[in-house]
Amino acid sequence: MSAHNEEAPILIEDGLIGNGLMEGGSPDGRSPNGGSIVLEAGPDAAGQRLDQWLAGKLGPDMSRSRVQMLIRQGAVKVGGQPVNETKRKMAAGDHVSVDMPEPEPAEPQGENIALDVLYEDNELIVINKPPGLVVHPGAGNWTGTLVNALIHHCGDSLSGIGGVRRPGIVHRLDKETSGVMVVAKTDRAHKSLSEAFADHGLTGDLKRAYLALVWGIPMRPTGTVDEPLGRAVDRVRRAVVPEGRDDARHAVTHFTVIERFGEQQKQFATASLVECRLETGRTHQIRVHMAHIGHPVVGDPDYGQAFRTKANRLPEPLKGRVKAFPRQALHARLLEFRHPTTHLTMRFEAPVPRDMEELVDGFRKL
């Protein structure tokens, strides 16, 4: 069947509709250069989840998680109507169309970007990530990332992750969050570290601690936020959501107040330096959880907007420093894990970056 066939579509049960192609398609129904794919569900599809059925039709090149993302982005239509529920039940005869995104660029290339290396051996590398550095290439950031820097830095010492000579990212920090990260250089290390981070240290030796400068002073010196996280209304940010919701994910953050600022006065806004330890590792977890309990991270552009005017209740020069601070004041201070081959416990700490330290010092003078 030619990709340039302009005849009217012919319905093909439980397969592609007509030639199954739009411009840029291919004879097997894939759409490597963008465009749309249209399928019709056969009798065996009845009762299946939309994401499960669609992943089966588009696999093995399209993972189920990728299919779920396309559904949530509104790229999937059933009967011509957009759907965003991954669990939607299929019915025989459903016509499903998928707007395929443009393909991602080829494998990232190495770039000579300076790295603060805390430790490195044949299995892994530990770095102190500066604020402003994106971890992995993605939309809007195909170059200039930590992955690009690691490919250049590690060179031939990368023995391959999944058969590809690339660094194995087992956890991430937000672009504007600084601190300690470990990256695998071999399949063996990648598997071991991935399992440790997936378990979040519940049965192993993984420990992670973050320092956060937050608005206000928590009522208790220690506490735990145990609230599920899911998509916010804008579908970009995260939010605390009801436990039974489709996208709800278990999330637990333990916090300890390290320092209190401005506690003995009423003239200015108060703040606290808090250590947060993760029991789970959800996207934006600390930022969402601290905002949820009324103590958002200072400078957080996504979850601290309601507290922006707090800076007006500070003396100069701290007022100007807070207003000019370009990011969330969050730092991954500590990372401890068991080495995948020596099985020794390794502990790394990264000093607070200068901009955040200067901000904290300003609050100390309240």
Residue keyed to tokens 């200068």: 354
Catalytic annotation present for 174: yes
Count of helix runs (H) and strand runs (E) in the chain: 7, 16
Cβ 297 vs Cβ 214: under 8 Å? yes
Q: Give the CA radius of gyration of the chain.
A: 24
Q: One-letter amino acid identity for 164?
A: V
Please answer whether residues 346 and 334 qualify as being in contact, where contact means their C-beta atoms are separated by less than 8 angstroms.
no
Reduced to 3 states, what is the DSSP secondary structure of residue 195?
Answer: helix
Cα–Cα distances in angstroms (integers) from residue 22 to residues 12, 19, 92, in the given order: 16, 8, 24
Nearest to 69 by CA among 100, 114, 48, 112: 100
- Closest by CA to 150, choosing from 164, 171, 132, 136, is 136
Residue 317: cis peptide before it, omega within 30 degrees of 0: yes
Cβ distance 14 to 45 under 8 Å?
yes
* CB-CB contact of 318 with 261 (8 Å): no
Cα–Cα distance for residue pair 108/225, rounded to 1 Å: 38
Q: What angle do CA 52, 54, 56 make, to 5 degrees?
A: 70
Q: Which of 51, 94, 174, 302 is catalytic?
A: 174
Please identify every residue annotated as catalytic: 174
